[in-house]
Amino acid sequence: MEAPLLLPVSTAAASSSITIDDTVQVAASPSTQSIVFRVLAVLAVACASLFAQHEASKGFGIDVVNAAPRDTVAGRRFHLFFVSNGRAERILHDANRDVEQALFPDASFPRKRVTRVTVKMAGHNLTADATVDAAAPGEYVVTLSPGLMASTGRAADAVAAAVRRAVARMWLWDGRGAAPACVTESMVEYLADGAELTASQPEEEDEEDEPQCMSARFLRHLEQRRSGFVARLNRAMRDRWSDAAVDAALGAPARRRR
């Protein structure tokens, strides 16, 4: 009489076991999902943080605007080669890094306030490859001429060179407008192409007519005579311009006395 009683107990135990296992499995599913969601959330926050740090390292925000009609060669090429792949931002970032290193070697060299730079492809040809204008306090617009897009093979180099010159103009002081244009333009050329210039024979053809002017090659010559000359000259032009600024930045007469 006792044997039949064992079967229901075994069956009940098995049934109970199944019920417990099912409960564990059902409970485990939401728990696993919760863990996955938490991991994804942490990764998202980490990615956002890294992106924010990367943007902050640039020192200012960057916008890229294509004002050229999309049905034009310039509009299509600028979007394809510079906007869609982020190349315009990289070109601006690289140009800015090089110019800042040359002009601001330490905290004693005052900088302009720059919070945002917009790189814009113009809708019409400009008289220059690129211009830079202050749109608002701390905000600048680098406008590129559509003519830079004429050659597909050389467009990247042409845009990079134009952006370097625009960035150099953006950071240079000009003695509150009193610095000679030939000086500031030579500094722009030096900052944009200084590495490619040779200084073995400084140019002197314009010394007699305009003693305050100098070429980018001569600037490089003075930079080699005393490292940091261009940065000190730019610092001297923050508030005013004086013909003596060149000698002061060099710490000696820049030109031979005649």
Average pLDDT over residues 68-94: 95
Rg of the chain over Cα atoms, rounded to whole angstroms, equals 32
Residue 168, C-beta contacts closer than 8 angstroms, at least 6 positions apart: 99, 187, 188, 191, 192
- The pLDDT of residue 256 is above 70: no
pLDDT at 211: 46
Residue 149 vs residues 34, 86, 121, 188: alpha-carbon distances, Å: 51, 17, 10, 23
Residue with more model confidence, 32 or 249: 249
Question: Which pairing describes strands 130-136 and 139-144: parallel, antiparallel, or unpaired?
Answer: antiparallel
pLDDT at 227: 93
Residue with more model confidence, 27 or 33: 33
Q: What is the pTM of this model?
A: 0.71
Laid out side by side, the sheet with 61-66 consists of: 61-66, 116-121, 139-144, 130-136
Q: C-alpha angle 149/152/158, rounded to 5°?
A: 55
63 conformational bin, left if phi > 0, alpha if psi -120 to 50, beta if neither: beta
* Residues 206-221 pLDDT 10s: 444 454 678 888 999 9
**In a 3-state reduction of DSSP, which class is residue 132?**
strand
pLDDT at 106: 94
Residue 13, C-beta contacts closer than 8 angstroms, at least 6 positions apart: none
Residue 162, C-beta contacts closer than 8 angstroms, at least 6 positions apart: 129, 130, 144, 145, 148
- The pLDDT of residue 119 is above 70: yes
Work out the percent of the chain whose per-residue pLDDT is above 70. Answer: 74
- The pLDDT of residue 254 is above 90: no
